[in-house]
Structure 1
């Protein structure tokens, strides 16, 4: 996970059951103790599964609890499909099939 310094963080690699714990370690840095909106750029994600989606949902809930805006950009098609199949388009701001 790399920071661009403007509230945007870039994810890369796999977002799967095996790698979610590595990404989870960044949650506090990303979402706690601040007011600036956060964007997670997922352009570098090469593979994802339901564990990755669960992590994204957890981060949205953490952000909501912190009253912090969190958005996901460049959501890979594989993740968008998981979001659609699970009926979570509104939660992720993908109501019209848009990929932020």
Structure 2
């Protein structure tokens, strides 16, 4: 009986450890954004668009995180497109 309990605990620990290793978390996935190639990634974003995004978020760090997350989900889109999508998404969500 004790061997069965010990085997169950051991299997549970191995399962928990393997699950923890497979889930990298937000930090690693956001860092991967920087290494993913983007078509037109060197394209500059007009200050008017960045200003509009900053006005909607009220925080430059939040704006950058939104852009990074969109770039992660759409790796072959330009930075300008990502900014325009962030603005569109914020406006859409505020209308709802």
> Which TM-score tier does this pair reach, normalised by the shorter chain?
under 0.3
Greater fraction strand:
1
TM-score scaled to structure 1, two decimals?
A: 0.23
TM-score scaled to structure 2, two decimals?
A: 0.24
Greater fraction helix:
2
Q: Indicate the structure whose relative CO is greater, using CA pairs within 8 Å and at least 6 residues apart.
A: 2
